Each structure stands twice: as structure tokens, then as C-alpha cells.
Chains A and B, each alone.
Chain A
Amino acid sequence: MRLIEYIRQPWPWFVAGLLIGLSVPALLIMGNKRLGVSSSLRHICAACFPAGISFFKYDWKRELWNLFFVAGIFIGGMISATLLANPYPIQLNPKLITDLQQYHIGGFSLLEPTGIFSWQALLTLKGLIFTIVGGFLVGFGTRYAGGCTSGHAIMGLSSWQWPSLVATACFMAGGFIMANVFLPFILRL
């Protein structure tokens, strides 16, 4: 098999984990930067709409690196969806497929079900919840918690910050509650 075909396959968890883990020392050694993504949302607020709010009154240019980093993530997404795209549909647990089929949300070959994440679905109640309400909770929750999966779960735990362990446990608890208790109702809407 040619190397490029090999790379185009979905990467196993240990390859991804190793490489994500290595981004921690890479950023530290390049210039004392802590891996994290959600802060970029704050820097965008500070740069574009500070509105006199003291939380956004800081020199965001000192954190310009983070905006370069997320711009890179965007380009990385583009590269993987074109040059490195996996030609086969995503392999899912058959149980999840049967569970989700009852809601008729469709689009199993893609990364997201198109029945709830699409421009056509945006103005439906489901579409509003999945894109707008969900996004708002991500932005509000990560900042309130002081970090997201990369900042708390990976960078925070890597440097033995116990508040990050609390935050990670709460991320997981919130996710379990939403996915198992509320989503079955929301998906039926």
C-alpha cells in the first residue's frame, strides 16, 4: 500500500493521542505557550467587540499566537478533508446506528448527521438547538470553566493541575447527562 493511502485511513487512537500529547511540549518549547483553544474565542471578543467589558480589556496581541494556532487548525481541517480524505464511510458502533436511526437524522457517512447540522435544518427547532444553543453553551461553559478539552483535560492534567481534573470530570458528567438524558428528547423534536 502506498504511504498516502495508508495516511488516508482513519488514524488509530494511540497515534492521535501520541501526536496530540506531543503538541504540549512543542508549544512549551517554542515559546512558553500552553496548549489551548477556547481562549481564542476570548481573544476574538477582545480584538473585535470588547464593548468596555473589563474581562476583554487586555493586550490581546500578546496572545496572537493562539489565533495563529486556530487558523492552523482550520487549514489542517481543510488539508485532511481534501488531500488526506478517507474515501470510506466512518465506521460506527452498530448500536449507535440503530439508536440514532429512530430519530431519522441521516447522513451517516459524514462527520456529522446532515439532518440536524445543515443550512436547511438551521431554522428548524432542532437545528437551532444543535448549532446555536449548543455553540453558545460551548463558548460560555469553556470560559466559565477556564478552559476546554485541550486546555483543562490535556494541558491541565499533563501539568498536574487538580482544578483541571475537577473541570474534566464536570465536562464528562455534563456530556453524559446531555447525551443520555436530554438528547433523546431533543432528537425527537
Chain B
Amino acid sequence: MGTEAIKKQGIKELNNDFEVRSLDALCINESELKHPWYHNIKYFFVGIFFGIILVKAEVVSWFRIQEMFRLQSFHMYGVIGSAVIVGMMSVWLIKKFNVKTIYGEAIVFHPRQFNKGQVFGGLLFGFGWAITGACPGPLFAQIGAGFSIVIITLVSAIAGTWFYGLIREKLPH
């Protein structure tokens, strides 16, 4: 195989990898740059910041989630609603001023496809959210906050994700 062919093969593999990675996933690394692992440390700090907010705003509380689904408190609606507004304004500013990443890469937004999973999976996750009182982010924060039993919930959530991967082809999409 000539260098040209190897290059092509490499690009094909890379593209295929991106396709698999972005399958049923909204939140992926869209950067095409490759950096040594320690460049990821900054996301660890964003995570610390994120975890502190989740606990301090009591978003990780099972009780707050029950209040939300029983319409007994505005708190959760306020948190999610204002986060979406701030997020929307930020995305708008990033698009408008063509803001680049700190590595100089363009930030682009790809429209996502609708599939039935968003309905069926969404409902199933809604059930789980009301039962456990936690979405995936709060699971990690609750464990950190000392609720060791949530390790079981997290392991079960990993098992749920794995089982989804196993039967994915048989499910309606």
C-alpha cells in the first residue's frame, strides 16, 4: 500500500470512528485536534465547578426532583430555564462573533437528527429520573457528597447503558 492509500485508509477509519462515537450521543468531542492526555485536566476543573453548583443549588436532592414533578416548587424550573437562556445567549454570541476555541479551532454546530429514541428513551429516562431523583450528573455529585449507596445506582446506570448497546439494533429508532 502506498502512503496515499494508507492516508486514505486512516482518514476512513477516523471518519468511521466519529460516526460510531456520535451515534446516539449529543455531547461528544467535536474537536479534530489531538492533544496529550493532560490537556483534559481543564475539564476536570470545569467538572469540580459543575459538581459544586449541582450540590449547592440542591439540584442533586431527591426531594427537589419530587417537588418539580409534583409542581410544588419553582426551583428546578428556574435552574434549568435560566441555564438554557444563558446557554442560548452564549451559543448565539459564539456564532455571531465566530468565536474560536483556545486552540484556534472553529466552533460549529451540527443539526441533530430526530429519531424515535428521543421519545421512548426520553420517557424511560423520565421514569428513572423521578425514581432515583438524579440524572447522570447528580449521580456522580451525590457519591462525592458521601451518599455511598448511589454507587449501586451508578453501576446500575452503567449496566443500563451497556444493555442498550447490546440490544440497540432491535429497538425502534
Contacts and interface: CB of A to CB of B under 8 A. Distances in A.
Contacts of B6: none
Contacts of A146: 24-26, 112, 115, 117-118, 121
A131 B107 contact: no
A13 B153 CA distance: 26
Contacts of B126: 141, 170-178
A83 to B, nearest CB: 9
Contact of B47 (A68, A95, A108, A186): A68
Contacts, number: 551
A173 B102 CA distance: 39
Nearest to A8: B56
B90 to A, nearest CB: 4
B9 interface: no
Given A21-B84, A25-B91, A161-B111, A144 B145 contact: no
A149 B152 contact: no
Interface in B151-173: 152-166, 168, 171
Contact of A177 (B60, B119, B127): B127
Contacts of B1: none
Contact of A11 (B57, B113, B152): B57
A64 B48 contact: no
B165 A136 contact: no
Contacts of A131: 132, 149-150, 152-153, 156
B46 A84 contact: no
B123 to A, nearest CB: 4
A135 B154 contact: yes
B84 A153 contact: yes
Nearest to A133: B131
Interface of B: 17, 20-21, 23-31, 33, 35, 37, 39-63, 65-70, 72-76, 78-91, 93-94, 99, 101-103, 105, 107, 109, 111-115, 117-137, 139-150, 152-166, 168, 171
18 contacts: A16-B79, A25-B90, A31-B101, A44-B161, A55-B24, A74-B47, A112-B63, A131-B152, A135-B160, A136-B163, A137-B132, A138-B135, A146-B25, A147-B26, A149-B137, A163-B115, A170-B121, A177-B127
Shortest Cβ-Cβ A-B pairs, 9 listed: A174-B126, A72-B47, A76-B51, A36-B27, A21-B86, A77-B144, A17-B82, A144-B121, A170-B122
